[in-house]
Structure 1
Amino acid sequence: MTTTLTATTTPATRIPRGPRGLVWAVLRVHRTALVFWGLTLTAATAGLIWLHTIADAGIALVTTALSYVIFPVAAWAGGALIGRELESGTARLAWTQSVTPARWLATRLAVPAALLTVGTGAVLLLNLWARTDDNPNLVGDWYGPDQFAGIGPVAVAYALAGLALGTLAGLLLRRALPAAGVGFTAALLLHLVLERYREHLWPTVTRSEKGEFELPRSAWQQGWDITWGRHPGEGTPLSTSATFHPQSHFWPLQLVETGLLLGVAALATAAAFRLLRRRTP
């Protein structure tokens, strides 16, 4: 007598094919970070509206936060977004379910990039609105390190550069904590270099006059050259020359730095895809 046994198997959990399935997977896996990001944006929005109704004094806090957004983004991208998934094997599991490595990485980059662009851009625009009369005594001078990086498109570019650098670190190290540290360090170096050489990204203006003069506060002063008579320091100088960036240089400097940051983001992204291709079949 022959007995036929019919085995009932439960199909393995599969990640739906196509962009929608991958996008949903990214949102579900990183929902904690997304909730935190959403709460942060909500708090920043409410705070800016409230500060706008009473005074501009506290707006500098939001501006500073925008200028340093690259650091947590880079650490999160290297540690949680990429490093943890490679370390735990989640990424390789996705690759066995009809999801190519390139599509997996593209989705891991596209979803947070879109959210960072929309979120950071929205807070940036609201911050500019809340600054109202742009009184430097309250909100700081336009050329201040925090103010410059937090009141223009460079804020969004810094976030995207941090995402790309963290992603590359995650693919290089394939471990969450080391990748988070390396991503943070790379973002810090980039931030320090651009802050150090920002004044050289656009040609300065030189103003020369007989005697002496003062520049307006809105001028980002770079240097002075004073010619004295026979006794330096006594009386009125014969001529004075000042090198500076006028306030009209804000947008040229912003656009050049934004371009450099997006270039870094593009190079890091290309390197990440190339590295992934070399390490996967």
Structure 2
Amino acid sequence: MSTATFSPSTGLTWTVLRLHRLALGVWVAYVALTGTLLLWLWGPGSSGWHITGKCVAGVMNACTATGPGALTYTNLLGLSTSLITLVPAIAAAFAGGTLIGRELERGTAALAWTQSVSPARWLAAKLAAPAAFLVVGTGLLVALRRLVASRASDLPDNQWFTDGVYGSLGATAVALPLLGLALGALVAFVARRVIASICVSLALTGIVVTALGALRGRFWTTSTVTGDVHQGYRGFTGLLLDEGAVTASGARVADPLCRADTSCLTRHDVTGFYREFQPASHFWPLQLVETGILLGLTALAVTAVFALLRRNRRI
């Protein structure tokens, strides 16, 4: 890196963009290609097929797409969802590697700080520029993904409570990459090695995603449907959280798995069955709560990064 790389006269933001122009070009291409795929799915890709079968509440695969191009549509729909949900990992790896980790490992960050650029301004520019592109790019992809989902909302792959789909249809898809970026920067300041930073950043981002998935159903008030021993488990539309048997006292117990055996049900005091779930209408409340959690964690991570920066400058 030349001594003029971080000259204040050229603007820190412009300098960061120029320094990481390859990564910026890859990101723009990533968004453009994924966006083109989504537009195809919304338009030509959805022509020539129709949804068949009665869409039964509580049965994930009750609706299917048939006709010419249906299989291609389904496969590419899954691909587009994966491309959106991969963005947090991409952000974490980029921040832990090229954006921050490489600068610290090579010592070029310290060089920049000697050229009338304060460490705090350097770090702020390093994080703000990619964060802006992440928000704009991911926000565009989420908008297009929702457009595709509205075209065939009965398909399982377009319903938010289907595994893997939730993270591509709402605000969490925009907030999670910001957390990945912050975690990558934080790990880079701790590890100060590119490979280690990338690996740990990816691991931490995966832990956050897994934890949120496990806790998501409890972020908002749940609903319950019950049926007697003749009705069994009643159908519903939404995210299943728990199910089992109900006793005469109203207690919830594990299903004894003997619904057809009256004597077995009597022996276990089973009078019905229940299902606890998040209804489909709770999508946005869940999204807003989870987005708030993600932004809070992002703020904490960024605060920790600046604290480490100040401590390192004093050493």
Superposed pair shares fold, TM > 0.5: yes
Change (3 A) 1:72 1:93: same
Where structure 2 has 5 or more consecutive residues not aligned to the other structure, the ranges are 47-72, 249-257
> By how many angstroms is 1:14 displaced?
5.8
Q: Does 1:69 align with 2:87?
A: yes
> By how many angstroms is 1:124 displaced?
0.6
> By how many angstroms is 1:241 displaced?
2.8
**8 Å CA contact 1:60, 1:140 repeated in 2:** no
Query: What residue in structure 2 maps to residue 15 of structure 1?
Result: 6
**8 Å CA contact 1:165, 1:268 repeated in 2:** yes
**8 Å CA contact 1:223, 1:244 repeated in 2:** yes
Q: Which of 253, 256, 266 is 2:286 aligned to?
A: 253
Which letter does structure 1 place at the counterpart of 2:286?
Answer: L
TM-score by length of 1: 0.87
**8 Å CA contact 2:97, 2:197 repeated in 1:** yes
Give the RMSD, CA atoms, in angstroms: 2.3
Q: Does 1:278 align with 2:268?
A: no
> By how many angstroms is 1:16 displaced?
2.8
Change (3 A) 1:14 1:186: closer
What is the CA–CA distance in structure 2 between the aligned matches of 1:33 and 1:88, rounded to whole Å? 19
Q: Which of 23, 26, 29 is 1:39 aligned to?
A: 29
**8 Å CA contact 1:74, 1:162 repeated in 2:** yes
Q: Does 1:127 align with 2:169?
A: no
> By how many angstroms is 1:166 displaced?
0.1
What is the CA–CA distance in structure 2 between the aligned matches of 1:12 and 1:153, rounded to whole Å? 40
Q: Which of 95, 99, 104 is 1:86 aligned to?
A: 104
Q: Which of 228, 235, 242 is 1:223 aligned to?
A: 242
**8 Å CA contact 1:70, 1:187 repeated in 2:** yes
Aligned length in residues? 268
What is the CA–CA distance in structure 2 between the aligned matches of 1:265 and 1:14, rounded to whole Å? 28
What is the CA–CA distance in structure 2 between the aligned matches of 1:106 and 1:270, rounded to whole Å? 11
Higher relative contact order (CA 8 A, sep 6+): 1
**8 Å CA contact 2:242, 2:276 repeated in 1:** yes
What is the CA–CA distance in structure 2 between the aligned matches of 1:12 and 1:194, rounded to whole Å? 44
Q: Which of 235, 242, 260 is 1:233 aligned to?
A: 260
Query: What residue in structure 1 maps to residue 160 of structure 2?
Result: 142
Q: Does 1:113 align with 2:131?
A: yes
**8 Å CA contact 2:149, 2:159 repeated in 1:** no
Which letter does structure 1 place at the counterpart of 2:241?
Answer: Q
Instruction: For residues 122-167 of structure 1, give each alpha carbon's deviation from its aligned partner in whole angstroms, at most 9, with x where no partner exists.
Output: 1110111122234343524311231001111100111000000000
> By how many angstroms is 1:15 displaced?
2.8
**8 Å CA contact 1:59, 1:127 repeated in 2:** no
> By how many angstroms is 1:193 displaced?
1.1
What is the CA–CA distance in structure 2 between the aligned matches of 1:12 and 1:247, rounded to whole Å? 56
Instruction: For residues 186-218 of structure 1, give each alpha carbon's deviation from its aligned partner in whole angstroms, at most 9, with x where no partner exists.
Output: 1111111111222122221123354526223x2
Where structure 1 has 5 or more consecutive residues not aligned to the other structure, the ranges are 1-10
Query: What residue in structure 2 maps to residue 169 of structure 1?
Result: 187
Paired residue secondary structure (2:295) = helix
Paired residue secondary structure (2:275) = strand
